[in-house]
Amino acid sequence: MSRLVSMTDMLNKALEGKYAVGQFNINNLEWTQAVLEAAEAEKSPVILGVSEGAGKYMGGVKVVSAMVEALMETMNITVPVALHLDHGSSFENCKSAIDAGFSSVMIDNSAFVIDKNIEETKKVVEYAHSKGASVEAEVGTVGGTEDGVTGGVNYADAQECLRMVTEAKIDALAAALGSVHGDYEGEPVLGFDEMKIISDLTKTPLVLHGGSGIPEFQIKKAIENGHSKINVNTELQQVWTKAVREKLSSDAKVYDPRKVIAPGKDAIIATVKTTMQRFGSSNQA
C-alpha cells in the first residue's frame, strides 16, 4: 500500500485556503531526506518533483519511487506527500512513472497547438485517473532553461485554459504568465490580471513554475490570484552548492562525502522550511 497521495486534495484545499503547496525538485537521496524532514517539521503537505533528467540520474522512476516510499516509512513521515513527474514529455513517460508508483504527473504538450495539446493530455488524464494519480498540464510556454530544455515566454490564453480544464479534466493548470525556469534577469514581471481572469474562469488550482527568485510580495499576489502550487528547484540547487563550496574551502582535509555534502542538506532543510512558511502551507497538513 503506497504512502503517497495525489496532488488533487492538497491543491484544492490550498486553493480554498489561499495558500500554496510547494513542489521541491529532488536530485538524490539526501535531497529527498531534506525536503521530507522540512515538510514533517513544518507540518506541511509537500510535492516531490522529479524531472525526467533527474529521474534518469537517480536510476529511473522505479528507483525514485522505491526510495521515496522507503524514506517515508523509515522517517515516519505523517504529512501528505505527492511524488510528481515534472514536465513529462510523452504519454509513455507519464505512464511509466505512474506504473512505477508516482502519484502525480505533469504532461507538457505546450509546444503543440491547443487542439493537439488537449487531445494528447486527455490520454494521460484517462490513464492517470484510472490509477488514482493526478495530472498537471501546461498552456502557453514557461520561459528559461530547465534540464537542458530552453524556451521563451508565451502567455497562456484564458479561453484555451478553460478548454484544457473542461475538455481534458486536468487537476492542476500551469498557465504560463511570465515566470521562467532558472535565474531571473532583474525582477520578474508576472501577469497578475491574467492570473485572476484564468483562475476565476477555470476554478482550478494554478501552478507557478520558476518559483525561485520571485519576490515574496509577488508570490503572495500570485497565491491571491489562484496559484495553489509553486515549483522551487533552482534556489535549492544554489543554496546546496554554496554550502558545499564553503565546506570544501574551509576544510582542506575533509574527504568523507557524507561530511562534504552535509552542509548542503542542512541548507536545503532551512530553505524549504522558510519557503513553506512564505507559501502559507505550514500547519496545513
The residues assigned a catalytic role are: 86
Closest CA to 174 of 210, 201, 149, 145: 210
Q: Alpha helices of 146-256 — where are they, by DSSP H?
A: 158-168, 192-202, 216-224, 234-250
Beta strands in the chain (DSSP E): 21-25, 46-51, 81-88, 104-107, 134-139, 143-146, 149-151, 172-175, 180-181, 206-208, 227-232
Q: Was 227 annotated as part of a binding site? A: no
Beta partners for 230? Answer: 22, 208
Q: Was 264 annotated as part of a binding site? A: no
The widest CA-to-CA distance across the chain, in whole angstroms, is 60
Q: Work out the number of other CB atoms within 10 angstroms of the CB of residue 127.
A: 17
Q: Was 117 annotated as part of a binding site? A: no
- And the C-alpha cell for 160? 484555451
Q: Was 186 annotated as part of a binding site? A: no
Q: Was 113 annotated as part of a binding site? A: no
Q: Cell numbers 512513472 correspond to what residue? A: 97
Q: Was 25 annotated as part of a binding site? A: no
What is the end-to-end Cα distance of the chain in Å, rounded? 20
Q: Was 84 annotated as part of a binding site? A: no
Q: Was 210 annotated as part of a binding site? A: yes
Q: Was 129 annotated as part of a binding site? A: no
Binding residues: 87, 108, 138, 181-182, 209-212, 231-234
Binding residues for dihydroxyacetone phosphate: 182, 210-212, 231-234
Binding residues for Zn(2+): 87, 108, 138, 181, 209
